[in-house]
Chain A
Amino acid sequence: MWTVNQIESGGDYQLTTKDNRLLVLNSTSNALNVADVTSAIGNGSLRAEVEIRDSYVPKYRAALDQLAYEITQQVNSIHSTGYNLNGNTNVNFFTPLTSATNAARLMSLSTEVAADGKNIAASTSTTGNGNDTAIALGNLLSAPVFTGGSVTDQYGSFIYTLGSDIAHVNASVTEHQSLVLQLQNRKQATSGVSIDEEAVQILQFQRGYEASARLIKTVDELIQVTLAMGSGS
């Protein structure tokens, strides 16, 4: 995908890259420098990989990060109002995150909860006995406090985006395959070899050759007759 030879009509000889950067002109050459060529990748499967890396994967990651970040926030905000069995309140369930960046990767239990299950706040009463906070946490599942509705709504719309992206790409692949086939057929129509056609032409030339041979043979016979006439007298 990089280099194309071009010989100009004036006799100059030059070598350029596909995006018209001059590498060699006759006897002078330009040095190749190390550079970021990502933007120069215009198409092909490499371009597809770059696009997946730069646009699709970040989009899905951002959606998952947002989900993880909001779960962390919402659970913490309810959990920290409750009291745990050690009689403490204001304890986070998840380690608080400052932003959604990498939230899905960074999401983790807070040190307090990870160290001791009794630090899970289930109650609103100061003794830590009871289950009101636990019920409130359970109700988060359908509470419309997340971006775009409830947590299930958010996850559902993520799945929808993923599915429709893939379906869209699949349709586009089919479309391009047809296009490529069409172009190949057009190219073949002009430059391709049809065995039938060549066969007919071979026959035609064969007959031409046969006809020529017949002519030569006839002339040869004529000459032989003529020569025989000369020697016989």
Chain B
Amino acid sequence: MRITEASRYQSFLQDVGRAQERLETAQRQVSSGLRVAKPSDDPGASEDIIRLSGEKNETEQYSKNLSFAKSKLQTTEGIIETVEQLVERARTLGLSSLSNPTAADAYVTEVNAIRDQLVGSANSTFAGRYLFGGAVTTTAPFVKNPDTSVTYNGDSQTMPLAVGRSLSLETQIPGSDLFAGPVDIFQTLSDLATAMQGADKAGMDAQVQKIEQFTDVLSSARSKVGSYLNMTSHVESEMSSANLAREALLSKDQAADLAAAISELSTSQNALQATLAVGAKLSQLSIWDYLT
């Protein structure tokens, strides 16, 4: 085939174009650190990348939920502990009153103070939301009535938080299972105060027994919160190992192998230099140099 100058230049230009394209690709991989920067770079891998990075964002939200649940449960645990101490004090007062009914006045005042403190604890909030109202979180769940009784305005929901696909964690003990549960502790304390005032030993005894029942309710609630907290640690460690595995997979799909990319960069640089050098040499070649 006859090779003319025009076709030689055309081939040369195309070769230079290809070499530059290759260099550009290599350069982009090195500077961005990404092997797949746009879907057309590797359609199959892009689909995986979309899925994996979606899962990553999803997990970030789950992880936020998890920390939220953890702090909420820790707060709850602390409050239950305080309540346990208060109730224990009330029981002691009841027992003392049983053996020494004359000191009743001071005891009655203290029992009433404990009751008020308990209402405060029962209306504790976390992040601006009431902890013991079930799903009623924006209004105080326990309301004192003029006649010393306390009404529960909440419900029995446990407000689960999603901490994974089809995995949710309960974050609350509803007041209906605790303060207003099998034993209405506020009523019990009122009744105890009344019995103390009336030096009603049988009444005092009955209320002390009720307080002991309530202590059982408290400790079972506490172990429930403990087990939820335990769950958060399990889920947390599971999540972080899943994160690691996902990161590995994602970088396999998406990240450029830096060593390979850099060596490709210098190879393509050399290739472009060679192409240009050869082109320049060839265009110097002319028959005029040999004819005189």
Using CB atoms and an 8 Å cutoff, list the residues of chain A in contact with chain B.
123, 125, 127, 129-132, 135, 138-139, 141-142, 152-153, 155-157, 159-167, 170, 177, 181, 184-186, 188-190, 192-197, 199-200, 203
23 contacts between A and B (CB under 8 A): A129-B137, A138-B162, A139-B165, A152-B50, A152-B51, A155-B50, A156-B47, A156-B51, A160-B39, A160-B43, A163-B39, A164-B40, A165-B40, A166-B40, A181-B11, A185-B1, A185-B11, A188-B4, A192-B2, A192-B5, A193-B5, A194-B2, A203-B291
A141 to B165, CA, bound (A): 9
Taken together as a complex, chains A and B put the C-alpha atoms of A161 and B46 apart, in Å, by 10
Shortest A84–chain B CB gap in Å is: 13
User: Contact between B165 and A130 (Cβ–Cβ < 8 Å)?
Assistant: no
Decide if A192 touches B6 in the complex (CB within 8 Å).
yes
CB of A131, distance to nearest CB on chain B (Å): 6
Contact of B287 among A161, A170, A186, A195 (CB under 8 A): A195
Residues on the B chain within 8 Å of A142, using CB: 165
A185 touches B39 (CB 8 A): no
Nearest CB on A from B170, distance (A) = 11
Whole-angstrom distance between the alpha carbons of A157 and B40 in the complex?
A: 13
Are A199 and B288 in contact (CB-based, < 8 A)? yes
Q: Which of B3, B4, B39, B41 has the most CB of A within 10 A?
A: B4
Known interface pairs A138-B162, A141-B58; A129-B135 also in contact (CB < 8 Å): yes
Q: Which residue of A lies closest to B48 (CB)?
A: A156
Q: A160 near B7 (CB under 8 angstroms)?
A: no
Contact with A along B47-60 (1 / 0, CB 8 A): 11011001000100
Q: Are B39 and A166 in contact (CB under 8 A)?
A: yes
* B237 contacts A by Cβ under 8 Å: no
Q: Which residue of B lies closest to A135 (CB)?
A: B162
**Nearest residue, chain B, Cβ from A130:** B135
Could you say which of B75-83, B153-161, B213-221 contacts chain A?
A: B153-161
Interface residues of B in 1-60 (CB under 8 A from A): 1-7, 10-11, 14, 38-44, 46-48, 50-51, 54, 58
